[in-house]
Amino acid sequence: MIKRQTTINRIFKVSGIGLHSGSEVTLEFLPRREFGIAFVYKGELIPARYDMVGDTRLSTQIGCNGVNVSTIEHLMAALYFSGITNCLVYINGPEVPILDGSAWEFYQGMWKAGVYEFPETEVYLKVLRPVEVHHNDSWVKAKPLNTLEITMSIEFRPPVGKQKKRVMDVENAFSIINSRTFVLQEEIEAIRKIGLAKGGSLDNAVVIGSDDIMNPLGLRYKKELVNHKILDLIGDLYTSGYRILGKIEAHKTGHYLNNLFLKELFSDPKNYSLY
């Protein structure tokens, strides 16, 4: 377990296209002495925190004084898995690149950069009593536990159907990191109509056809799709600013509900303690 505040040991860059904007973006990761993760775009410092989250339709967007950065969730999950608590992310466009659709390349960059430890602690948030949120037929529930455990269930039309996965030791669940984002073939047209997914292709998303996966190499894991939903949840939970400890169960959740969960969690200081 990570005990202290940490940052990256050296600067590194990652470039790629945004899934929704389709435009090329470069990120530069810099060490940070202050606690927390923050983006810098157009000279604006935007803390990657749940109370800065705006649009949650197809990705998690944060913003400050009218300057927004979207699709932060996979990058946030990579920071979580790397154990990095303090980092500045300079970005030269409004959307974090999608890369291969997972958190893999970010994680690799962080791993190569290495981790620098500060003396300060208080990086964990422990859930002290049950907290839950619902929206239509989806929900997120948390109960006290000394580690982070996530149980996720999803339900889509065939050939996906129902999938469920329980991850007991999330900090070391490495099959989550390179599980890719996915979309149903029939949804692509609707998403493009609202001006999103311009950069989407079989290179950065799993596309679910009417009776099979359309990517030539198929899935990376049998449970890649539910794994990816766990990846999104981990990234979104890290906008709490802390490494959450608790037993979390989620059903058909998405970025909106993940954010609502954090708002509910922080609405009463009796719900949690920091250490």
From residue 45, give the alpha-carbon distance in Å to each of 33, 36, 39, 42, 65: 15, 12, 6, 9, 10
Residue written as token pair 């948390």: 142
What the block records as the tokens of 150 is: 């996530």
Residues that bind Zn ion (CB under 5 A): 181, 232
Tell me whether residue 95 or residue 232 sits nearer to Zn ion (CB atom).
Answer: 232
Tell me whether residue 61 or residue 181 sits nearer to Zn ion (CB atom).
Answer: 181
In the complex, minimum distance from the CB of residue 5 to Zn ion, in angstroms, rounded to a whole number: 26
**Residue among 20, 74, 228, 255 flagged as catalytic:** 255
Kindly give the pairing relationship between strand 6-8 and strand 115-117. antiparallel
Tell me whether residue 182 or residue 242 sits nearer to Zn ion (CB atom).
Answer: 182
In the complex, minimum distance from the CB of residue 137 to Zn ion, in angstroms, rounded to a whole number: 20
The amino acid present at 61, given as its one-letter code, is Q
Closest Cα partner for 41 from 1, 5, 68, 6?
68
Other C-beta atoms closer than 10 Å to the C-beta of 21 total 20
In the complex, minimum distance from the CB of residue 199 to Zn ion, in angstroms, rounded to a whole number: 14
C-alpha span between 28 and 38 (Å, rounded): 12
Strands (DSSP E) contained in 157-242 are 161-167, 182-184, 206-208
Tell me whether residue 180 or residue 243 sits nearer to Zn ion (CB atom).
Answer: 180
In the complex, minimum distance from the CB of residue 59 to Zn ion, in angstroms, rounded to a whole number: 7
Tell me whether residue 7 or residue 60 sits nearer to Zn ion (CB atom).
Answer: 60
Residues with Cβ within 8 Å of 97's Cβ and at least 6 positions away in sequence, in order, are 14, 15, 16, 17, 18, 24, 25, 27
In the complex, minimum distance from the CB of residue 178 to Zn ion, in angstroms, rounded to a whole number: 12
74 is catalytic: no
Other C-beta atoms closer than 10 Å to the C-beta of 206 total 22
Q: Which residues are catalytic?
A: 255
